[in-house]
Amino acid sequence: MLKSTNIKWEDSSIVRNDYEIRNGHRGVVVWFTGLSGSGKSTIAKAVLHKLFNDNKQVTLLDGDNIRHGLCGDLGFEEVDRSENIRRVGEVANLFYQTGMIVLCTFISPFIKDRQSVRQKFSEGSFCEVHIKCDINICKKRDPKGLYAKVAEGKISSFTGISSPYEEPTNPEILIMSDKFSVEICAEQVIKHLKLSGII
Amino acid sequence: MLKSTNIKWEDSSIVRNDYEIRNGHRGVVVWFTGLSGSGKSTIAKAVLHKLFNDNKQVTLLDGDNIRHGLCGDLGFEEVDRSENIRRVGEVANLFYQTGMIVLCTFISPFIKDRQSVRQKFSEGSFCEVHIKCDINICKKRDPKGLYAKVAEGKISSFTGISSPYEEPTNPEILIMSDKFSVEICAEQVIKHLKLSGII
């Protein structure tokens, strides 16, 4: 529901293209989706390091970090998850408009939510990365101890267990994080960015 | 109300200091507050141009632009205005964490809202700029035709008319935009950033 009225669009005068020329690469939103424990953050951080060290303008928006601040008012029901993803999409767009490579790591279990973020961007400016990992391996890794809490009945509405995860049907990148090392997975992303002319 | 639970803080590994070293300047949030028509956006854009051309990492978050996206679900009642400013503060912080100079132009009429944004930042990392302008001059300029609409009774709750504007009591920078040119006002901001060691 759009409630904001009497708004004139302000042209910031310095536009994305100006930033991209100066940065020496294009901006893009790289959206990592997958189960908790699938390796989204770990792989994205490896990508962040590689790109930063290669002097690219890059940032990481992380599900957990965002929920401490911008989305601290939201819970984990479907409507809150959707609003969470909507806001992140808007923030990703603000960073994208400064020509940055914006790495976003969010479980983002619903196709419609990911689709609505994608629709904010032009073809080639949104890159969906499915971090695919057997849920039993996610459970074993359990880096945040969440699967354990679920087993103890302490968390309701947990993706992959009591709440659905809708796999991407046609992601730009499919990464089998239960079969390859973090290094190889990160390189897969970098390679895609090179092949698609982003960097 | 903080509803997000079961969250672990993710260290992004590349921290603000890393960005700042590479950028060659410190990050800062420069918060322009003032009446509609006072010249916030115009002055901020002039600052944006100067800093961008001086090869600084800089961006502009604008009240109107943000309300098209991130805060498109919010209206103009006090509670919505507060939530608008809260979200912008969080987004400004995300940009700040990449070492950027973040120019924010928001009427932000309430001291408590500006204060709660300021509290997210350490001393010297938040710079409040009061763009002070006689409301009669704002009305004459009326760049968005809003004062005219107010006079026609088409807008309720308009800052400075039917809704209060609480002036900053101790801003880092006080700019009399009804007395000086845009060029001089913008230079006043740049000079402050230099004197305070940001750039």
pLDDT digits (tens, 9 = 90+) for A27-83: 999 999 999 999 999 999 999 999 999 999 999 998 767 988 999 999 888 899 899
pLDDT digits (tens, 9 = 90+) for B108-149: 999 999 999 999 999 999 999 999 999 999 999 999 999 999
With beta carbons less than 8 A apart as the criterion, state whether B136 and B92 touch. Answer: no
CB contact under 8 A, A73 and B3: yes
CB pairs under 8 A between A and B: 123
Name the amino acid, one letter, at A17.
Answer: N
- Looking at chain A, which residue has its C-alpha nearest residue B88? A70
CB contact under 8 A, B64 and A7: yes
CB contacts of A64 in chain B (<8 Å) are 7-10
Helix (H/G/I), strand (E/B), else coil: A3? coil
Give residues with Cβ within 8 angstroms of B161, minimum separation 6: B147, B150
CA pair distance B138, B146, nearest whole angstrom: 10
Q: What pLDDT score does A4 carry?
A: 52
CB contacts of B72 in chain A (<8 Å) are 2-4
Characterize the bridge pairing of strands A58-62 and A28-33.
Answer: unpaired
Q: What pLDDT score does B39 carry?
A: 96
CB contacts of A104 in chain B (<8 Å) are none
Long-range contacts of A85-89 (CB under 8 A, 24+ apart): A85/A110, A85/A113, A85/A114, A85/A116, A85/A117, A86/A113, A86/A116, A86/A117, A87/B70, A87/B87, A88/A61, A88/A117, A89/A116, A89/A117, A89/A120
Examine the residue annotation and report whether B108 is marked as an active-site residue of this protein.
yes
CB contacts of A102 in chain B (<8 Å) are none
- Report percent pLDDT > 90 for chain A: 85
Summarize the confidence of residues A152-165 as an average pLDDT.
91
Per-domain boundaries in chain B: 30-195
**With respect to CATH, is domain B30-195 assigned 3.40.50.300?**
yes
pLDDT at A124 > cutoff 50: yes
Characterize the bridge pairing of strands B28-33 and B101-105.
Answer: parallel
Summarize the confidence of residues A4-27 as an average pLDDT.
78
CB contact under 8 A, A74 and B4: yes
Give this prediction's pTM: 0.92
**Other beta carbons less than 10 A from residue B70's beta carbon:** 24
CA pair distance B9, B114, nearest whole angstrom: 26
Q: Best mutation site among A47, A70, A100, A103 for testing chain B: the one with the most B CBs within 10 Å?
A: A70
CB contact under 8 A, A65 and B13: no
Q: Which of B190, B193, B176, B195 is nearest to B39 (CA)?
A: B176
CB contact under 8 A, A52 and B2: no
CA pair distance B28, B109, nearest whole angstrom: 21
CB contact under 8 A, A68 and B4: yes
Q: What pLDDT score does B140 carry?
A: 95
CB contacts of A100 in chain B (<8 Å) are 98
CB contact under 8 A, A59 and B9: no
pLDDT digits (tens, 9 = 90+) for B160-195: 999 999 999 999 999 999 999 999 999 999 999 999
Catalytic residue among B108, B125, B177, B196, which?
Answer: B108
What distance, in Å, lies between the first and last C-alpha atoms of chain A? 37
Q: ipTM beyond 0.95?
A: no
Catalytic residue among A36, A38, A41, A108, which?
Answer: A108
- Looking at chain B, which residue has its C-alpha nearest residue A120? B69
In the sheet that holds B173-176, the strands lie side by side as B58-62, B101-105, B28-33, B126-132, B173-176
CATH number assigned to the domain with residue range A16-195, chosen from the 4 options 3.40.190.10, 3.90.1150.10, 3.40.50.1820, 3.40.50.300: 3.40.50.300
